[in-house]
Amino acid sequence: MIFDLYDLKDVKAVQRAFAGMEIGLTSGTYDMYHNMHDDYLLACRRACGPEGVLIVGVDSNNLVRSSKGPKRPIVAEGDRVRIVSGRSSVNAAFILGSAEDFGLAAKVLQVKYIFKNQDFIGKDVYGSDLPGVNLVIIPDVFPAISTTDLIHRVVDITTADEK
């Protein structure tokens, strides 16, 4: 299910669909989707418990550019949100317009868990200060492969082939 966080009708539909369930929330870029993304989302979903649900905010194109630079994302937000929403571990997904909107999502969706990766240890996370919300850090189990690392490998190979 894909919904619009900024559309009240959509938000109410999500609230009804998941009423009474333990809701987990995470977000990310999910550019050039790879197995580490799957591993992370699966770990988040498992941490929600057997009756829980996982909702994922996919960073907007503008949000990605502001954090990763003007040449990113590689894959547009509409495609990325469709890829993420289609994962078996994800119950719903939306495009996250700003970092602050993550806190809004936590509030309106009445989440119990906010999931972040190890990069967020010791950092403030929007929404984690809400009553009843538990911030859960999902550790990297395998050597982490980031999309940025993959892009650098492709560029390095391409550059070497051109010489």
Strands of the sheet containing 134-138, edge to edge, are 92-96, 53-59, 23-28, 113-117, 134-138
pLDDT of residue 36: 87
2 within domain boundaries? no
53 within domain boundaries? yes
Whichever domain contains 105, its CATH number is 3.40.50.620
pLDDT of residue 122: 86
85 within domain boundaries? yes
pLDDT reading at 145 higher than 80: no
How many DSSP H helices and E strands does the chain contain? 6, 5
What's the rounded mean pLDDT across residues 21-50?
93
Residue 162 confidence class, pLDDT cut points 50, 70, 90: low
Residue 18 confidence class, pLDDT cut points 50, 70, 90: very high
1 within domain boundaries? no
148 within domain boundaries? yes
3 within domain boundaries? no
Which pLDDT tens digit goes with each residue over 49-88? 999 999 999 999 999 999 999 999 999 999 999 999 999 9
pLDDT of residue 20: 93
- Count up the domains in the chain and report the number: 1
Which pLDDT tens digit goes with each residue over 109-128? 999 999 999 888 888 999 99
Range of the domain at 132: 8-162
48 within domain boundaries? yes
What's the rounded mean pLDDT across residues 88-116?
96
Task: Find out whether 55 and 93 touch, Cβ atoms under 8 Å.
Answer: yes
pTM: 0.86
pLDDT of residue 159: 65
34 within domain boundaries? yes
Summary mean pLDDT of the chain: 91
Please give the structure tokens belonging to residue 103: 């806190």
